[in-house]
Amino acid sequence: MIQILKMAFRDLGRNRRRSFFSALAVGAGLALLILMASVIEGEMGSAIESAIQLQSGHIQIRAATYDENKSSLKWQDLVADPDQIAGQIAALDQVKTATPRLYASGFLSSGTQSASARITGIDPLSAASDPYRKGVISGEYLSPDDREAILIGKPMAEKLSLSVGDRVGLSLNTADGDVQDQTFIVKGIYTTNTYGFDSATVFLPLAKAQAITRTENHASTIFVLLNDTALTDSVVSALNVSNLEIKTWRDLNALFVEYETMAESYIGIFYMIILAISASVIINTLIMSVYERTREIGILSAIGMRGNRIMMLFLAESSMLAIGGVLMGLVIGVLGTLYFNRNGFYIGNMGLSGIMITDTIYAKLTMDNLINLTIMTFVVTILSGLYPAVMASRMQPVAALRAEK
């Protein structure tokens, strides 16, 4: 076996440039696979985490008749005594925080410009509101007793040409079917780096939102965050809320779950295409080597080398190309992933309805992806040498000696 490896190494060294670029093609393929897997992992993880923190929570408790697409404010669609229910849920050890929230649809207007908005009444002091508090980039955050203050997203402020201290008109529906108009002062401008969310969501203190919509002591939902997403099912089992509906983050992000499944299918196709290109390079390299060494193969056969050893010789060459390519691919892929993990890359206003995609995507490399892709590339590269190896092993000595002079 040692002799076979020495011969394989010597044969690859005959054309070092071709061997190097063949291994580089394998390495480039592996590096691209690693980077793609890391970007997808980062995007998926970021999207679901953003959706949970900003919009859905891990769990929501709400009326069975509530329709979140309509932001219904009918009494029968709301949760009565939400503070009491939230307090009971927050007492569970697995729960990080539970807070009432009220949603209403309306319009913001400034001068001749207007924009639709989802008005969200929040408890400014709740830990669930930290992403908005930490996201304030201009002005100040809301306080629970604010009555004329509003917090708006950066895209909304840019669209309506608003800055901190400006007055903005707010028109929204109320529980009794009327439309309520009031002028508010922009107290702060926030960003969560999620354009789809920031461009449509404005915040009021919960007490003010309840007052202006005439839904005192009612909320659209109880927003629950857990200490660990994996605890979702166990917490749902422990909850005891009569006449109310329990929704988990999976239920509330069904579109994202479908998108993730579809994306994984398409990514699998891209993986196969990249591996096929890398495999074709190895096949082409070894077939060229077979034709260039036809006479040599004939001599080896004539002096007694069996076909299986000739086949092992070419498989050893493909193995060496695989090892070299994998090592280069790991270095390039890991370095590229580390760069995008630190700096990310800006995709701009790509937010889709129902999916919280941040403006900047950061790559996230997992050990499972790294090991699986490395093994996959290595195996495919070795298998790529199987056809040239079989072709060389089946050459007849006399025909091979006559093929090249």
Please give the mean pLDDT across all residues of the chain: 85
- How far apart CA 29 and CA 274 sit, in angstroms, is 6
Q: Give the distance, in angstroms, between the CA of residue 226 and the centroid of all CA atoms in the same chain.
A: 21
Give the tens place of pLDDT for each residue, 17-43. 888 888 898 899 999 999 988 888 877
Q: 5-9, 244-248, 254-258, 352-356 — which one is most confidently predicted on average?
A: 244-248
Dihedral angle at the C-alpha atoms of 330, 333, 339, 342, nearest 10 degrees?
-80
- How far apart CA 274 and CA 393 sit, in angstroms, is 29
Three-state secondary-structure class, residue 58: coil
The HSE-up count of residue 88 (CA atoms within 13 Å, CB side) is 10
pTM (predicted TM-score)? 0.73
Look-up of token digits 């639709």: 116
Q: What is the pLDDT of residue 350?
A: 55
Q: Give the distance, in angstroms, between the CA of residue 383 and the centroid of all CA atoms in the same chain.
A: 32
Stretch 73-79: mean pLDDT: 89
Q: Is 165 left (phi over 0), alpha (psi -120 to 50) or beta?
A: left
Give the tens place of pLDDT for each residue, 197-244. 888 899 999 999 999 999 989 999 999 999 998 999 999 998 888 789
Give the tens place of pLDDT for each residue, 305-355. 776 777 787 788 888 888 999 999 999 999 999 988 888 777 766 545 445
Residues above pLDDT 90, as percent of the chain? 42
